[in-house]
Structure 1
Amino acid sequence: MTPEKTYQYLTELAVKTGISIRYEDLSNSELTTKSGLCSIKGRFLFIMDVSKGLTERITLLSETLSQMDLGGIYVLPAIRELLERSHHSRRDNSIPRQKA
């Protein structure tokens, strides 16, 4: 699967879990900020730094999605494998699993 297709599937999966993705230029922020998931008024928002390349965007989004409860959502086998690898690589720094 191409990186472009992988990222497309990850963004579609994020939407299915209730995560909105917003692209922002975080390099001009007065505060130190980075891409990641936040919750605003009970809704999940993933802020993606526009300066990140495709490979890093895939890594960031797959790390976040690997922490979500994806029960009941069909996930392509290749994407599920990517999420499992991301989950295992983050095990030491994991956040509590969130219900989608």
Structure 2
Amino acid sequence: MNEEVLLNQLEELAEKLGILVRDENINIEETSSNGGLCRLEGKYVLILNSQVTVKEKNQVMIKALQQFDLSEIYIKPVIRELLEGHKADS
């Protein structure tokens, strides 16, 4: 699957879960971060570093989405396999 298409699919899944996805320029000299999941005022926000590759954004998305119960949500089989495969690797 094309990395751009995958990113769009993962963003749609995040939206179903009520996660706000933000593409931000993370420019912190002391650290390098591709982004991550946080809670802001009780809501989940997934921040993606706009300076990284689409593949790196996908990795951040997958890691964040694995923290949620996805058993009751329809996910395309190829995406579910990807999420479960990465979970086994962790």
Q: TM-score, normalised by structure 1?
A: 0.81
Rate the CA distance shift 1:15–1:40 in 2: closer, same or farther, 3 A: same
Tell me if 1:74 matches 2:84: no
Distance 2:32 2:20 in 1: 18
Cα offset for 1:64? Answer: 1.1
Aligned-pair identity (%):
36
Match of 2:21? Answer: 21
Structure 1 counterpart of 2:56: 56
Cross-structure match for 1:97: none
The 1-side partners of 2:44 and 2:32 are apart by: 17
Letter in 1 for 2:39: S
Match for residue 39 of structure 1?
39
Say if 1:21 and 1:47, in contact at 8 Å, map to a contact too: yes
Q: Which amino acid letter does the alignment assign opposite residue 69 of structure 1?
A: D
CA contact (8 A) 1:24 1:47 kept: yes
- Range moving further from structure 2, 75-84 or 64-73: 64-73
Change (3 A) 1:41 1:33: farther
Structural RMSD (CA): 1.5
- Give the count of matched residue pairs: 89
| Residue type of the alignment partner of 2:86 | S
1:67–1:87 Cα contact (<8 Å) kept: no
Secondary structure of 1:70's aligned partner: coil
Large movers: runs of 4+ above 4 Å: none
Aligned-pair distance for 1:5?
1.1
Asked whether 1:87 is paired with 2:61, we answer: no
5+ long unaligned stretches in structure 2: none
Q: Which amino acid aligns with 1:57?
A: K
Once the two structures are TM-superposed, the CA of residue 33 in structure 1 deviates from its matched residue by 6.2
| SS of residue paired to 2:75 | coil
